[in-house]
Every structure is written in structure tokens, then in C-alpha cells.
Amino acid sequence: GAVVSQHPSWVICKSGTSVKIECRSLDFQATTMFWYRQFPKQSLMLMATSNEGSKATYEQGVEKDKFLINHASLTLSTLTVTSAHPEDSSFYICSAPSGRGGLNSYGYTFGSGTRLTVV
């Protein structure tokens, strides 16, 4: 089945530094990648949508200059958290439509998530 490989699975960084999270579609082409953020005991919140070869669209309240998204190829999308601060500590998850398509498509494959801790 379709697999999205997300790395790293966890990262600890110092406040003020930047962290890059990668999501690769291993056996399908991901023209679109969705990025979510999840705080403890809360549900997934959509942050942004990236489309290959174009600028990402961000949800209201998400700073585009802080969360840089690059989707330069059909198999790789990256999220860079710039100048990270403790409040950016969260679980970040990517997702791509990956199914057979059509009315019966169930094809949303999720990465395994990245736990970011900013100290």
C-alpha cells in the first residue's frame, strides 16, 4: 500500500534554531501534501496545504514565515519550523491523498509524525 515516510520521528532543538521535517511518498506521487499539528490530548489541526511546484496555502492563524513549506517534487514535501520557540513544541504530521481515486477512494496516507520539543 501507499506509504508516506516522515523524518525525523522526534527532535529536540534549542530555542531560536530551525528544524526541518521531511515527508516522502515512497510508492506513489504526492501532488498534494497536508501538514497537521497536534498538541497533547487534542485533535489534529490542519496547518497548511502544499502542492507540488506551487506555493503552500496556510490556514488562518498559521504564520507562513515561521512554517516554511517546500514541495519541490512529487515525492518530497518539507516543513521547516524557523526560529523555533517552546510554544512550537508539538506533534507534526503530514498526509497525502494516495488512494485509487474515484468515488470509493479512501486514500489518505499519513506519515508517522514528528515530535518536536523546543527547549
Partner 1 sequence: DAKTTQPPSMDCAEGRAANLPCNHSTISGNEYVYWYRQIHSQGPQYIIHGLKNNETNEMASLIITEDRKSSTLILPHATLRDTAVYYCIVRAPLGNTPLVFGKGTRLSVIA
**Residue 70 φ/ψ region, left for φ over 0, alpha for ψ in the -120 to 50 degree band, beta for the rest:** beta
Query: Does residue 3 belong to the site contacting partner 1 (CB under 8 A)?
Result: no
Helices (H), strands (E): how many in the chain?
0, 11
Interface residue with partner 1, options 60, 61, 102, 119 (CB under 8 A): 102
CB 36 within 8 A of CB 94: yes
* Binding of partner 1 by 91 (CB under 8 A): yes
What is the distance of C-alpha 73 from the center of its chain?
15
Rule CB under 8 A: is residue 54 a binding residue for partner 1?
A: no
Of 16 and 27, which has the nearer Cβ to partner 1? 27
Report the C-alpha gap between 94 and 78 in whole angstroms.
9
Minimum distance of partner 1 from residue 44's CB (angstroms): 4
User: In the complex, which residues of this chain contact partner 1 (CB under 8 A)?
Assistant: 4, 6, 31-32, 34, 36, 43-46, 49, 51, 91, 93-95, 97, 101-106, 108-113, 115
